[in-house]
Amino acid sequence: MLETRGLTVRFGGHVAVNDVSCSFAPGTLTAIVGPNGAGKTTYFNLISGQLKATAGTVSLDGQLLSGQSASARTRAGLGRAFQLTNLFPNLTVLENVRLAVQAAREGAHRRGLNLWSIWSDHRALTERADQILAEVALKAKEHATVASLPHGDQRKLEVALLMALEPKVFMFDEPTAGMHAAEAPVILNLIRALKKDRTKTILLVEHKMDVVRELADRIIVLHNGQLVADGEPSEVIASPIVQEAYLGLPAAGAEDASRHATAPIPAFPRAGEGATP
Ligand SMILES: Nc1ncnc2c1ncn2[C@@H]1O[C@H](COP(=O)(O)OP(=O)(O)OP(=O)(O)O)[C@@H](O)[C@H]1O
Ligand SMILES: [Mg+2]
């Protein structure tokens, strides 16, 4: 169980994440929604340790992670998509994924200089890396250098590296943002497959409401850094706060509110994004 208690971060006078207490159980995909600037990415950064909290705690399976480095949290099982700046741009896609697999299996490599063991490990690592690259449809690019990849392939590679870590908790922050429509299904299928493995905890920040509706077991809503709604997807989507604050519809209780309850839910508008989905 991943848990945040009173998690808060202040930037000067601005409280970007404000006293968020929430638990995330294995086998559950929780969608985190809210308008631009609501604090969703900042919440992820506080959980993963990229950012230091002003107050509050993060724990995983009862182990307190607050105060630990981002890499210690990764070892504890928190999987945040790598930022490509952490990669080796001049190594190939396959080499990078193999290094990530190796990092995750570090323990298995403390056997001294046994050449047979090193060779067979190397083969096993390559096989696992190959398998992951097939899952994210990047096999054809395995010998390309990371620096040469187009944007969509870079996003796939981020997910591949996350898979390589075999974490307990998968954190996806708009995993298909900026991808061509034809490429997004690869990532969504992977998330569907992860969901079937009922042991994983999945957190998904997503603006596309059709994706949220399909995948989420639960939705939480952040607004001005605060947790303002939490529950079963259809209830949260129909709740007055979501209807009013994000969809510009009249609050429940106002005349005709029920008329809108079954209206199609558009994606949350994003800054700098045109009308095309
Ligand atoms: N390092 C930082 N220093 C100062 N302010 C920051 C920092 N990181 C985030 N913020 C501010 O915190 C607020 C929350 O930003 P955040 O990126 O978490 O929003 P978000 O919900 O992920 O939005 P989006 O949907 O656009 O990705 C914003 O007002 C942002 O400007
Ligand atoms: Mg964000």
pLDDT, tens digit (0-9, with 9 covering 90-100), for 152-167: 898 889 899 999 989 9
Distance CA 172, CA 255 (A): 38
56 lines ligand 1 (CB under 6 A): no
Write down the pLDDT at residue 8: 98
Write down the pLDDT at residue 202: 97
Write down the pLDDT at residue 255: 39
pLDDT per residue of the chain (277 residues) written in tens, 0 to 9 = 999 999 999 999 999 999 999 999 999 999 999 988 999 999 999 999 999 999 999 999 999 999 999 989 988 999 987 666 667 888 999 999 998 888 887 754 455 556 666 666 788 899 999 999 999 999 999 999 999 999 889 888 989 999 998 999 999 999 988 888 888 998 999 899 899 888 999 999 998 888 999 999 999 999 999 999 999 999 999 888 777 766 555 544 443 333 333 444 444 444 444 434 4
Write down the pLDDT at residue 262: 40
273 lines ligand 1 (CB under 6 A): no
DSSP bridge partners of 59: 3, 64
Q: Which two tokens stand for residue 201?
A: 């905890």
Write down the pLDDT at residue 263: 41
39 lines ligand 1 (CB under 6 A): yes
What atom in ligand 1 is closest to the CA of residue 34?
21
77 lines ligand 1 (CB under 6 A): no
The crossing angle, in degrees rounded to 10, of helices 115-135 and 151-165 is 130
First to last CA, the chain: 34
Distance CA 245, CA 33 (A): 12
Please calculate the CA angle 178-183-188 and round it to the nearest 5 degrees. Answer: 95
Pocket test for ligand 1, best of 7, 10, 41, 42 (most atoms within 8 A of CB): 42
88 lines ligand 1 (CB under 6 A): no
Per-residue pLDDT reduced to its tens digit, 127-180: 999 999 999 999 999 999 999 999 889 888 989 999 998 999 999 999 988 888
Which residue, by CA, sits nearest to atom 12 of ligand 1? Answer: 16
Task: Kindly give, in sequence order, each residue whose CB lies less than 8 Å from that of residue 145, ignoring residues fewer than 6 positions away.
Answer: 89, 90, 91, 92, 93
Q: Which ligand is nearest to the CA of 33?
A: 1
Q: Which ligand is nearest to the CA of 207?
A: 1
What burial letters (b/e) apply to 235-274, b meaning 16+ CB within 10 Å?
ebbbbeebbbbbbebbeeeeeebeebeeeebeebeeeeee
40 lines ligand 1 (CB under 6 A): yes
Task: Kindly give, in sequence order, each residue whose CB lies less than 8 Å from that of residue 169, ignoring residues fewer than 6 positions away.
Answer: 2, 24, 60, 77, 78, 79, 200, 201, 202, 203
Ligand 2 centroid from CA 33, angstroms:
10
Query: Mean pLDDT of all residues in the chain?
Result: 84
